[in-house]
Amino acid sequence: MLEQNNAPNPALPTPVQPVSSPIIEVAHLVKRYGPLTAVDNISFEVHEGEIFGFLGPNGAGKSTTIKTLCTLVKPSEGQVKVAGFDIMGQSDAVRQQIGIIFQDPTLDSGLTAVENLEFHCMMYHVPRPERSDRIKYVLDLMDLDAHKDRLVKTYSGGMRRRLEIARGLLHRPRILFLDEPTVGLDPQTRNYIWQYVRRLREIHKTTIFMTTHYMDEAEHCDRIAIIDHGVIVALDTPAALKRMVGEDQLELTTSDNTLAARIIEDYYKLSATERDDRLTLQVAEADRFVPALLGELPRLASNLVVNTLQIRKPTLEDVFLKLTGRLIREEDEGKKDERRLNLRKRRRL
């Protein structure tokens, strides 16, 4: 479905070459709303061509940060540079370098896809001779060319999201901001959206800065900043963050759990705990340990049979729990998703 075309295209933006300096620099950013501190002295950098994620629950400061970086909100304190431009003194230059996909839909449902894109071209002063080529290119990129003359109100939620991404690319931004990009979409459509996002990075070297509360979605990022109550509590790759939690957890049931536990403790020097008729133990690399265990047990105890075996690897949910002492508030987020989905359905009517 997502075939990559390497042939020259007149509408193809010139790929941005990697540079040594970060494309986003945030130093001691603070944003207050009266007595409320929404963002509390955060600092981080984003590299060119990176998919960088902000992971956290509602009220964590994700949207406030992204709005600040996009010059929609003025910081209370701190310094921010986007594509080398200061967000306070050079806001117009910053806006020329970025594309924004907001949480809630902003398309005109009474217009066609092409009409929405033509209006965006006018707003961003895209040269008139280039508009048709740019529009065709982004529609092809998002697999929407066949639907370009349909009214947006007839589009599915996933098609609308793809059109919003296409619109955000028309003025050839170096950075694309995605604020909760797949809220209200079904899992299959969410997966398709991420295929398109990864394609943007691969073809154009576009830097992606996204916010999410979905754990599986955060796995797409090169690096993740976990933010809670306006503070960044951790920042690293998904794999490195999960290593903070600890080792893999192995659960198994056998014909004789007491014998199995003794063998594991004596032979492998690992502590096995029996709970609910299951043995549980922590291992450094379960993928390597399990084949060795299954190969050795018949030799060590010929009458011992492994009935079930399950590997549980650390997740980003575990990381959030370890860092904050609680699970991310998926239930509250789910209610918010439902409200947004209902809003989108009403707008589609």
Q: DSSP for 119-159?
A: HHHHHTT--HHHHHHHHHHHHHHTT-GGGTTSBGGGS-HHH
Most confident of 22-36, 190-204, 243-257, 264-278: 22-36
What CATH number labels 247-312? 3.30.70
CA distance 248 to 55: 23
| Helix (H/G/I), strand (E/B), else coil: 251 | strand
Check residue 197 and give its pLDDT: 85
Residue 3 has pLDDT above 80, yes or no: no
Check residue 342 and give its pLDDT: 55
Output 46 or 195, whichever has higher pLDDT. Answer: 46
Check residue 341 and give its pLDDT: 52
CA distance 172 to 193: 19
pLDDT, the chain, mean: 85
| Helix (H/G/I), strand (E/B), else coil: 168 | helix
- Between 1-10, 121-130, 212-221, the lowest mean confidence (pLDDT) is in 1-10
Check residue 201 and give its pLDDT: 86
Residue 194 has pLDDT above 80, yes or no: yes
Among residues 182, 251, 184, which one has the least CA distance to residue 211?
Answer: 182
| Helix (H/G/I), strand (E/B), else coil: 257 | helix
| Average pLDDT score over residue span 92-101 | 92
What's the full length of the chain, in residues?
A: 349
Taking each helix axis as running N to C, give the angle between helix 113-123 and helix 157-169, from 0 to 180 degrees, rounded to the nearest 10: 30
Among residues 303, 312, 288, which one has the least CA distance to residue 254?
Answer: 303
Check residue 329 and give its pLDDT: 54
Output 103 or 87, whichever has higher pLDDT. Answer: 87
Residue 325 has pLDDT above 50, yes or no: yes
| Helix (H/G/I), strand (E/B), else coil: 338 | helix
CA distance 191 to 182: 9
User: Per-domain residue ranges for the chain?
Assistant: 24-237, 247-312
Residue 5 has pLDDT above 50, yes or no: no
Residue 250 β-bridge partners: 281, 311
Check residue 349 and give its pLDDT: 39
Longest dimension (CA), the chain: 80
pLDDT tens per residue, range 98-108: 999 887 888 99
| Average pLDDT score over residue span 32-53 | 95
| Average pLDDT score over residue span 185-211 | 86
Q: Which architecture does CATH list for 24-237?
A: 3-Layer(aba) Sandwich (3.40)
CA-based Rg of the chain, rounded to a whole angstrom?
Answer: 24
Residue 336 has pLDDT above 70, yes or no: no
